Amino acid sequence: MTVQDDIETYLTKNGQSTVNEIANGIDYSNSYTRENAKEMKAEGRIDGAKTTRIPAVIISGNYEVLTGDRDYLLGLVKRYAASHLSRAKSKSTSDLQDFIRDQIADDVVGGPFRWEFWK
């Protein structure tokens, strides 16, 4: 099976899904999955659109996207507020995003839109 077959099978089984969900489900990288899904959309094999906005913040003058990657989020805490790292480690990914947004970020800004695909 090709990656595109895997994407099609995943979407048939799971319905509308983000690139991250598809990539995790078929064990490919996000970028490779997104590239192939966009190609499939162009060919009319699946549908897709940029839907929800991924939250982003400004911390110490730097633009940071608050992804769903817990290790990445912990890295942001370590980089910008190391004294809070032990407390941050006990938080869920969603709570960690809120913590960064509410306690560490200087400003909340609009982030990129997330691709979702469906069959």
Strands 107-109, 56-59: pairing kind: antiparallel
pLDDT higher than 90, residue 52: no
pLDDT-derived band at 4 (thresholds 50, 70, 90) equals very high
* Mean pLDDT value across residues 30-54: 95
Domain that holds residue 100: 53-113
Contact 75, 81 (CB under 8 A): no
Please check whether residues 46 and 69 belong to one and the same domain.
no
Please check whether residues 38 and 87 belong to one and the same domain.
no
Per-residue model confidence as pLDDT tens digits over 54-108: 889 999 999 999 988 999 999 999 999 999 999 999 999 999 999 999 999 999 9
Please check whether residues 73 and 47 belong to one and the same domain.
no
Strand order in the sheet with 47-53: 17-18, 113-118, 47-53
Q: Is the pTM of this model over 0.85?
A: no
